[in-house]
Amino acid sequence: MSAPKTMKAVVENDAEDGVVVKEIPIPPLEDNEILVKVDHVTLHVAALSTTGSIIGCDYAGTVVEVPGSVSHKRDHIKIGSRVAGWVHGGLFKDRGAFAQYLKVPADLTFPIPDDMPSDQACTFGIPFYTAFHALKHSQKGNWPPGKDHSWFLVYGGSSGVGLFTIQLAKMMGHKVITACSAGNFDLVKSYGADAVVEYKAGENAINEIKQITGGGVHKALDCISLPESNAFTIACFAPGKGQMNVILPPDAAAVSVRPDVDVQSTLLYTLWGRAFEFGPRAGPKMPLPALADDLKFHRELVARIPEYISLGFKAPPIEKRGGIDDIAQGLADMREGKLSGSRYVYTIA
Ligand SMILES: NC(=O)c1ccc[n+]([C@@H]2O[C@H](COP(=O)([O-])OP(=O)(O)OC[C@H]3O[C@@H](n4cnc5c(N)ncnc54)[C@H](OP(=O)(O)O)[C@@H]3O)[C@@H](O)[C@H]2O)c1
Q: How confident is the model over 70-83, as pLDDT tens digits?
A: 998 889 999 999 99
pLDDT of residue 231: 98
Is ligand 1 within 6 A of the CB of residue 142?
A: no
pLDDT of residue 145: 78
Ligand 1 atom at shortest distance from the alpha carbon of 158:
43
pLDDT of residue 292: 85
Same fold, 6-124+277-347 and 128-266: no
Q: How confident is the model over 211-225, as pLDDT tens digits?
A: 999 999 999 999 999
Half-sphere exposure at residue 104, Cβ-oriented, CA atoms within 13 angstroms: 31
Ligand 1, pocket-test mutation among 224, 286, 294, most atoms within 8 A of CB:
224
CA distance 198 to 183: 9
* Domain locations in the chain as residue ranges: 6-124+277-347, 128-266
Q: Could you list the beta-strand ranges (E) of the chain.
A: 6-12, 19-25, 33-42, 58-65, 82-86, 101-105, 110-111, 151-155, 175-180, 195-198, 219-222, 242-246, 261-265, 318-320, 343-347
**Is the pLDDT confidence value at 349 over 60?**
yes
Mean pLDDT over the full length of the chain: 93
Indicate the CATH number for domain 6-124+277-347: 3.90.180.10
Tell me the percentage of the chain whose pLDDT exceeds 90. 82
Ligand 1 atom at shortest distance from the alpha carbon of 162:
16
Q: How confident is the model at residue 58 (pLDDT cuts 50, 70, 90)?
A: very high
Q: How confident is the model over 3-48, as pLDDT tens digits?
A: 689 999 999 986 666 899 999 999 999 999 999 999 999 998 766 7
**Is the pLDDT confidence value at 130 over 60?**
yes
- Any idea which of 16-25, 184-193, 247-256 has the lowest mean pLDDT? 16-25
Annotation: CATH topology of 128-266: Rossmann fold (3.40.50)
pLDDT of residue 48: 74
